[in-house]
Structure 1
Amino acid sequence: MKLKIYTLLLALCVTWSLQSCDNDDDNSIAVPTELQNAFASKYPNAANVKWETKCGYYVADFYDGYEASAWFTQDGKWQMTETDIPYNALPQAVKTSFEKSEYASWKQDDVDKLERTGVETIFVIEVENQNQEIDLYYSADGTLIKSIVDTDDDNTGHLPVQLTEAMRNFINEKYPNAKIMEIDVEDDRNDWDFGYTEVDIIHNGISKDVLFDQTGDWHSTSWEVRQNELPEAVKNTINNQYGEYRFDEAKRIEKADGTIYYRIELEKMNVDLEVNINEDGIVIP
């Protein structure tokens, strides 16, 4: 019951923060001494510091080699720092991964280093091609965590969401040595997974999405697989039943009830098709 109440409150808090964020960029705002000391301790060489408030947080915009913004709670607890860095400052593994990706020829718009409490550091490369804008999220070792459409939202969406102890323990037990990269609470009431918590992890070098339901129980885990990694039975079903389609991508999905299947995305001309096929090659709803 406590876990259920905690998860509900967490979802409500995230929704409230997105709807009611204020922005006070008056340079005369009073910054608590405890907070100033916490900032000075974490960034002793910071210059041109300017404070503002957003969403109930104190935000320090400053320069420390690069332009950056650090977010703190009112009692001086650091939450997040977003640093605007040049492409050349990315880890070599990230640059190598990006330059081998399908987006390598796209125009680079912005590059950010994102550090947050409770999760690993990630690097976000914003790219654009004509009217398309995509944000690419990489771990320091060059693993692509996710790619999402850039909606030009402010960086409040990057604020950290804390996992419950039960969720964190589950990940540690089921995915030993996994790195937690991103945590989101689904806030669209029109989606079937409203209130669910999605945790992006890197486990054994693979980027995986771990989904917990509104009660905090594990719902499912999914990750992308290459066509040659599909079971033979799955590949045979694709060839025999959907031979006229071109393979686009696939995900392996493992559910809490023990079900395992592959979600296959296919395309033909202007037709996109998505089918679910279990390990025995049987098409399922």
Structure 2
Amino acid sequence: MKLKFFTLLLALGATVWSLYSCDNNDDESINVPIELQDAFSAKYPNVANVKWESKSGYYVADFYDGYEASAWFTQDGTWQMTETDIPYTALPQAVKTSFEASEYKSWEIDDVDKLEREGFEIVYVIEVENQNQEMDLYYSQEGVLVKSVVDTDDDRDDQYLPDQNAKLTKEMNDFLNIKYPGFKLVEIDVEDDGKYAGYTEVDITHGSIGKEVLFDKSGEWVLTSWEVRFNTLPEPVKNAINTTYPGQVDDDDADYVEEATGVTYYLIDIENSEIDVKISADGQILD
């Protein structure tokens, strides 16, 4: 009886070890192709204890390399992105300096991610919240605020992946080099709704400014916009808005827009409404 009981314990132990090994054997758990394993090892040669999983049609390697990270690969082994969860203290000093001088400096920091993506500049995303408001702030390594996006709490696992439908053509790249020499590419997306559905939006940094450059379906430049602080606007603009919409504009609710037609204006977001007001530098409200 004792022998049978001991044999049973050994069998149970072997079963538990087999399950544990399967869960932790990255190569066998989801049958990761050898080409993909080689691609990961070439990019991260000193990483061990990798856990593979499948998300949104991609192979994702979760690993620890000083901080928790996830590397995303296509099924043919092409690296797309690595997202690393880092503490605020690990941000570049330029990013911390910029954030601590922003209107969000007193907001609570919820999370910080470092994004490395094929063909793009490194971006740091600081997620902040203030009561019932949540924002995602995208910074370049140089501390340029590329864009600020309302966090809707329905973020997908693949939200940071490059848009596979968006392409920067040679003509677009040539245009950017001429109009914005020395620009750095941050992101490319195809607009999926609204007036500009199907247009390509290219996010860049140009000097110390994050700019959104819009191209139509044929690749022709349509407009460029970037965020500006309301308190820095020309006095005629501030006076006209404060008179027409008193107390309905936050300091971060303005953009400067330059169109391919040669028209330039400020676009002001009016709170508690769906109105965006176009206003010229001399204070004239445009249609």
| Residue 251 (str. 1) matches residue 255 (str. 2) | yes
- Cα deviation, 1:10-29, whole Å, max 9, x if unaligned, reads xxxxxxxxxxxxxxx99622
Q: Paired residue for 1:156, among 155, 158, 181?
A: 158
Correspondence for 1:193: 196
- 1:175 aligns with 180
Cα shift at 1:83: 0.4
Letter of the aligned partner of 1:219 in structure 2?
A: V
**1:174–1:63: structure 2 CA closer, same or farther, 3 Å change rule?**
same
Q: Which has the larger radius of gyration?
A: 2
CA distance in 2, matches of 1:226, 1:126: 20
- 8 Å contact kept, 2:145–2:209: no
Is the Cα contact below 8 Å between 2:245 and 2:270 reproduced in 1? no
Match of 2:9 in 1: none
Residues 151-210 of structure 1 show CA distances to partners (whole Å, capped at 9, x for unaligned) of: 33123121113422222222122111111112222223xx22222221111112111111
**Alpha-carbon separation, structure 1, partners of 2:87 and 2:245:** 45
Q: CA deviation at 1:45?
A: 1.4
Q: Does 2:72 align with 1:71? A: yes
List aligned pairs for 1:33-44, cutoff 5 A.
Answer: 33-44=34-45
Q: CA RMSD in A?
A: 2.5
Contact 2:198 2:217 in 1 (8 A): yes
Q: Name the TM-score, length of structure 2 as normaliser.
A: 0.80
Q: What secondary structure sits across from 2:114 in the alignment? A: strand
Tell me, in whole angstroms, the C-alpha distance in 2 between the residues paired with 1:204 and 1:234: 25
Q: State which of 225, 229, 232 in structure 1 corresponds to 2:228.
A: 225
In structure 1, what is the Cα distance between the partners aligned to 2:273 and 2:101? 28
Residues 274 and 153 of structure 1, relative CA distance in 2, 3 Å threshold: closer
The letter of the residue matching 1:212 is: F
Rounded to whole Å, the distance in 2 between the matches of 1:134 and 1:27 is 39
Q: Is it true that 1:110 corresponds to 2:111 in the alignment?
A: yes
Q: Post-superposition shift, 1:238?
A: 4.5
Residues 214, 223 of structure 2: 8 Å contact kept:
yes
Q: Is the 8 A contact 1:27 1:52 kept in 2?
A: no
Find the residue that maps to 2:159 and give its secondary structure: helix
Deviations 1:17-51 (A, max 9, x none): xxxxxxxx996222222221111011011122011
Q: Which structure 1 segments of 5+ residues have no match?
A: 1-24
Where does residue 214 of structure 1 map in the other structure? 217
1:139 CA drift (Å): 0.9
Cα deviation, residue 224, structure 1 = 2.1
Please give the alpha-carbon distance, in whole angstroms, between the structure 2 residues aligned to 1:203 and 1:138: 13
Q: Distance in 1 between matches of 2:155 and 2:117?
A: 18
Q: Name the structure 2 match of 1:97.
A: 98
What's the counterpart of residue 142 of structure 2?
141
Structure 2 CA distance for partners of 1:163 and 1:271, relative to 1, 3 Å: closer
- TM-score (structure 1 length as normaliser): 0.80
Q: d(CA) in 2 for partners of 1:66 and 1:134?
A: 23
C-alpha deviations, 1:109-146, integer Å up to 9, x for none? 11110000111000111122233222111111111111
Structure 2 residue 264 is matched with structure 1 residue 260: yes
Instruction: Indicate the SS of the match to 2:30.
Output: coil
TM-fit CA distance, 1:233: 5.0
CA-CA distance at 1:282 after TM superposition: 2.5
Residue matched to 1:284: 286
Aligned partners of 1:120 and 1:180 also within 8 Å: yes
In structure 1, how many angstroms separate the alpha carbons of the residues matched to 2:87 and 2:235?
Answer: 44
Could you say what secondary structure the match of 1:98 adopts? helix
Larger CA deviation: 56-65 vs 247-256: 247-256
Amino acid at match of 1:281: G
1:245 and 1:266 in contact (8 A); partners too: no
Mapped to 2, the partners of 1:229 and 1:135 lie a distance apart of 23
Q: Which residue of 2 aligns with 1:9?
A: none
1:82 matched residue in structure 2 = 83
**Paired amino acid for 2:192:** D
What is the distance in 1 between the residues matched to 2:255 and 2:104? Answer: 20
Larger RCO: Structure 1 or Structure 2 (Cα < 8 Å, ≥ 6 residues apart)? 1
* Aligned twin of 1:132: 133
How far off is 1:266 after superposition? 5.3
